[in-house]
Amino acid sequence: MYEYRCTNCGSDFEKLRPMREAEEPAECPRCGFVVAKKQWSTCCVTTGGGSGASGGGGGCGAPGSRFT
C-alpha cells in the first residue's frame, strides 16, 4: 500500500500495488490527473501475539499521521 499526493488538485490517496510499480505514476481518483507524487508515510507492524505482545496491535504512528 502506497500513499500518493496529486500534483494537480493536492488530494491524498492510497493505492495497493507491487513494489516494482511504486515509483510509477498513479492516477488521482478525485480529478483523474495521472502524475501523482509518492509520499513517505509511517508503517504499522504487528506481531503474531507471542509472549509479551500487547493486545493493542502496535504501530509506528498515530492514525492519520504522515511524514511529508
Q: Which pLDDT score is estimated for 18?
A: 92
CA dist list (Å): 57 to 9, 51, 61: 34, 14, 12
Strands 36-38 and 12-15: unpaired
pLDDT grade, residue 16 (50/70/90)? very high
What is the pLDDT averaged over residues 46-66? 51
Q: Which pLDDT score is estimated for 24?
A: 86
* Contacts for 33 with CB less than 8 Å, ≥ 6 apart: 6, 7, 8, 9, 27
pLDDT grade, residue 36 (50/70/90)? low
Q: How far apart are CA 50 and CA 67, in angstroms?
A: 30
